[in-house]
């Protein structure tokens, strides 16, 4: 597997992200969906990575700069056929290292509170994230949990 910075211009990553947004819409009420669409990821404050295995996208993730020290983890997704195969751990380790190299000292995230998101929450806990209050523009939401960690 290879992790690349992705400019989001390819049809394969566009389809992968569309599946992500559709899946989030299917498990989260619309007012609580925070998954970014393709255009929302194509902004200067976002760095996006794809995990490639051969010619296929098997995972993705991004960071969004909130300020000089704080970034938000966004768009973490593993291809359904590759879940629980180490793709997310490999990518999260890479993203945290890159965020540290970029000078960020804190990484935060929002994820769902439903059972569907339990594997993601457990992954984040293993990587040292702890639960916190809403950050940035988020507000308390029974469908969301917020996590953070220092880098």
Q: 105 with 69: CB under 8 angstroms?
A: yes
On the 0-12 / 13-18 / 19+ scale of CB atoms within 10 A, 97 is exposed
Residue whose C-alpha is closest to residue 136's, from 108, 111, 113, 117 = 108
Q: Residue 81's Cα: distance from chain center in Å?
A: 18
**E strands in the chain:** 2-5, 46-53, 56-65, 70-78, 106-112, 130-132, 144-150
Give the pLDDT confidence of 8-67 residue by residue, as tens digits: 999 999 999 988 888 877 788 777 777 788 899 999 999 999 999 999 999 999 999 999
DSSP secondary-structure letter at 73?
A: E
Model pTM score = 0.92
Q: 18 with 35: CB under 8 angstroms?
A: no
Q: How many CA atoms lie within 13 A of 109 on its CB side?
A: 27
Spatial CB neighbours of 131, under 8 Å, sequence gap ≥ 6: 145, 146, 147
Give the pLDDT confidence of 65-124 residue by residue, as tens digits: 999 999 999 999 999 898 888 999 999 999 999 999 999 999 999 999 999 999 999 999
What's the CA gap between 114 and 145, in Å, rounded? 9
Domains within the chain, CATH numbers bracketed: 2-150 (3.40.630.30)
């Amino acid at each position: 597997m290879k992790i690349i910075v992705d400019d989001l211009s390819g049809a394969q990553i566009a389809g992968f992200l569309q599946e992500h947004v559709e899946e989030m819409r299917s498990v989260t009420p619309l007012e609580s969906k925070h998954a970014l669409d393709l255009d929302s990821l194509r902004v200067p404050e976002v760095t996006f990575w794809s995990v490639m295995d051969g010619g296929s996208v098997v995972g993705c993730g991004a960071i969004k700069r909130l300020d000089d020290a704080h970034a938000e983890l966004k768009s973490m997704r593993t291809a359904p056929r590759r879940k629980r195969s180490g793709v997310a751990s490999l990518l999260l380790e890479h993203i945290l290292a890159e965020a540290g190299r970029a000078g960020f000292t804190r990484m935060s995230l929002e994820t769902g509170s439903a059972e569907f998101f339990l594997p993601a929450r457990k992954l984040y806990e293993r990587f040292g994230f702890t639960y916190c209050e809403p950050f940035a523009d988020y507000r308390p939401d029974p469908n969301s949990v917020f996590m953070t960690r220092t880098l």
